[in-house]
Chains A and B, each alone.
Chain A
Amino acid sequence: MPKFESLDHLREYRRQLLARRDPQQLQVLVCAGPGCLPMGSEEVAAAFKEELQAKGLEGKVLLKESGCQGLCARAVRVILRPREICYQQVTPEDVPEIVEATLMNGQVVDRLIYEAPLTGSKIAHKSEIPFYRGQQPIVLRKLDVIDPESLDDYLAMGGYRGLRKILTEMTPEAVIDAVERSGLRGRGGGGFPTGRKWRVCHEAEGEVKFIICNGDEGDPGAFMDRAVMEGDPHAVIEGMLIGAYAIGARKGYIYVRHEYPLAVKRLQLAIGQARQFGLLGSNIMRSGFGFDLKIARGAGAFVCGEETALIHSIEGFIGEPSPRPPYPAQAGLWGLPTVINNVETWANVPEIINLGPEWFAAIGTENSKGTKVFSLVGAVNQTGLVEVPMGTTLRQIIFELGGGIRQDHEFKAVQTGGPSGGCIPKEFLDLPVDYDSLQSVGSIMGSGGMIVMDHTSCMVDVARYFLSFLFEESCGKCTPCREGLRQMLFLLDEIIHGRGEEAHLALMEELCAAMADASLCGLGQSAANPVLSTLKYFRQEYETHIRDKKCPALVCRPLLKYSIDPETCTGCLACVRECPVGAITGLKKQPQELDQELCIKCGLCFESCQFEAVKVE
């Protein structure tokens, strides 16, 4: 590949690239996304490589490891192009059959294709699978098409066309104008209008300005930014180039969590490629515009997702937030004007420039434009990444795309917005999802985690989980957050240990209000949301814990009671071997007895019993 010497050179290169490529080229794309990697996608890819070699198909079939293919529940996923045949739950043992049947003889392997959870009907083609049919991918569009490590693949999909467009025909003001008119709002959680943020920074005084990509995706249960950084890293870089041109920045940072080693590797590779081919650096394609990027690796602190804390972290300090204003767009990195946007926001930008702000603004609701990527996980049948227009209802997402609740259980709640969000009960299933509607029911959009829960989840435990998460992660700078979390956690612990009193609930609500008012940053201000939303919609569950000392979902350990049914127990001693405290005694082949005094309620006996003789209540 050459170094692009001019804007026309890039266009000419793309033309030749597309002319060289055969649209009928057989391709095997093995998903190496966040959902498939833990299920052994590397082994599947290796098996394909070996089998293609063995069958002499190396030159004829292209093998790629792609980014996330969406339907993580059925990992490992493989998609065969150009026919778009989706295979799921593929193991290395299935590979010879796929190569022989589909690649050599054009037949579909029936047992590996999608089966609808309700009807049982089998579907081979991606476009017909309901999970994909209901989506409108913009950010995820390229993830199951390109090899994330190939710049050519990105260029062939129209990559860096947005950059070329702004450098040939748009002024920085026109770019800001377009982003403003598109109605794009920050996808990291706050939902601040992106164009306005850029304008403030553009108009701020000073020659030196910065832009930052916030890839510190810390919300537990959210992985869309990871999928984009790993699966389409050039889209983030192109978005940042466009942003840098608009506000007049010459240097940018991508801040990535160190817990995402593959994202770091892929971004590093993509930055290297972009530099090599003259898409990053000084005087890019001789346009006079120069911009370069650096990766800053997070060091493990959730609070660094907050923009001022993130800036301190890049500066080499501990990640403590600062009061705003001044906002980073006025005084950010090293006190200079800085635009910070989230990964998904940046990835939307090239598409907005390419297809125009009107196209983008036509998608979504009045105040929330475009699409949103959600990580749909928890108790749904079809977990995975979905991208839907703003305004799609929770019911559509959970039941049509997600295929309903596992094991035909009943839907109980959906948690959105991570530790700053709330739990939404079934009354609001028909709520169209956008920034404002979620806030109106006590949750937030957040970065896009959507954790579905059924009756096996205890809402008191969920609230306690988020509080303990935030308690661990609070930086400790301001008192309302540091001490408020400690006290709330104490109260919730009292409740789940059976020492709760009704007055505790009112006290918690009071504490929530104080934290929301007085905390320094978003972490503390919104820490109350998981507690307030569960108190509002599931108060009865708190009351059962307090009054009856029972956990209806059988989750809160201290309130559980294990016993052994002498009628069913066979005396096989499986539980005796598992019990870590020796609380179970009895003779072999005789019913066993459980000493309640010694029992630590770990549940190992319950799990190890083959005869369902261990009871829990």
Chain B
Amino acid sequence: MDQERLDTILSRYEGDAADLIPVLQDIQDQYSYLPKDELKVVAQKLNVPLTRIFSVATFYKMFSLIPKGRHQIRVCLGTTCHLRGGPRLMESFSHRLGVEPGYTTKDMQFSLETVGCLGSCAQAPVAMIDDKYFGRLATDKVPKILKLYKN
């Protein structure tokens, strides 16, 4: 475990139990998941039982207990995207990457997820890769977009 890396995160907070979610968010952002050993330290430092940390970590969708891939693909399944081909877009990503939503490719390059709504409904169907949005995404554009992120 990289104590220094975790200490940098923890030093941003006052060590209150109420800081639990922001601390976990920072760990998730930096590590791409919540490693068990780190969580034990967090439990100690914030004086929060480990069971509560697990309950929070498994309740909120942004947290993962296993490492995620290098790139996060989020396919929007909001109402407008649902009506305008979002599920088909999801299948296309899933088919091309060979993973089901919620999973990561074997080479750890891509994690595929669905999301309730990304808020770009006028350009449905929409997907987001890391921090970039892709609008009016027809399924035939999927291979080209994936190529941009490979390697």
- Which residues from chain A sit less than 8 Å from chain B, CB to CB? 34-35, 37-39, 72-73, 75, 217-223, 226, 258-261, 296-297, 299-302, 313-319, 375, 377-379, 383-384, 415, 418, 449, 451, 453, 456-457, 462, 465-466, 469, 473, 475, 580, 602-603, 607
Contact = CB atoms under 8 A, between A and B. Distances in A.
Interface string B38-74: 0000000000100010011001111100000000001
A449 B122 CA distance: 11
Contacts of B25: 258, 297, 299
A72 B122 contact: yes
B146 interface: no
17 contacts: A35-B135, A38-B133, A39-B136, A218-B116, A220-B81, A221-B78, A222-B119, A259-B115, A299-B63, A300-B61, A315-B18, A316-B48, A316-B56, A317-B56, A375-B122, A383-B122, A603-B88
A259 B133 contact: no
B18 A316 contact: yes
Contacts of B126: 38
A39 B59 contact: no
Contact of B121 (A221, A475, A580): A221
A4 to B, nearest CB: 28
Given A315-B18, A316-B18, A318-B59, A75 B122 contact: yes
Contact of B117 (A218, A319, A580, A602): A218
Interface string B94-124: 0100000000000000000001111111111
B20 A451 contact: no
A602 B56 contact: no
What are the 3 A-B residue pairs with the smallest beta carbon separation, nearest first?
A38-B135, A300-B61, A72-B122
Given A220-B116, A222-B117, A316-B16, 10 more contacts: A38-B133, A39-B123, A72-B122, A220-B78, A221-B79, A259-B74, A318-B55, A378-B83, A383-B121, A475-B59
Given A297-B25, A603-B88, A35 B120 contact: yes
- Size class of the contact patch on chain B: 35 or more
Contact of B19 (A300, A316, A465, A469): A316
Interface string B1-30: 000000000000000111111101100000
Nearest to B23: A316
B83 A457 contact: yes
B37 interface: no
A560 to B, nearest CB: 13
A442 to B, nearest CB: 17
Given A37-B120, A313-B21, A465 B62 contact: no
Contact of B123 (A72, A418, A580): A72
Given A259-B115, A465-B79, A580-B95, A375 B121 contact: yes
A319 B118 CA distance: 20
B120 A34 contact: yes
B134 interface: yes
A473 B122 contact: no
B56 A38 contact: no
Which has the most chain A C-beta neighbours within 10 Å: B48, B82, B95, B122?
A: B122
Contacts of A607: 139
Contact of B131 (A223, A261, A378): A261
Contacts of A296: 21-22
A34 B56 contact: no
Contacts of B121: 34, 220-223, 375, 377, 383, 449, 451
Contacts of A302: 116
Contacts of B118: 259
Contacts of A34: 119-122
B30 to A, nearest CB: 14
B83 to A, nearest CB: 5
Given A219-B117, A260-B119, A377 B18 contact: no
Contacts of B22: 296-297
Contacts of A378: 79-80, 83-84
Contact of A449 (B77, B79, B120, B124): B79
A509 B79 CA distance: 23
A65 to B, nearest CB: 14
Given A261-B131, A314-B18, A217 B119 contact: yes
A274 to B, nearest CB: 21
A317 B55 CA distance: 8
Contacts of B133: 37-38
A260 B20 CA distance: 21
Contacts of B20: 316
B68 to A, nearest CB: 13
A198 to B, nearest CB: 25
Contacts of A75: 122-123, 135
A35 B55 CA distance: 36
A259 B80 CA distance: 17
Nearest to A314: B18
A217 B115 CA distance: 13
Nearest to A475: B59
A258 B24 CA distance: 13
A379 B79 CA distance: 12
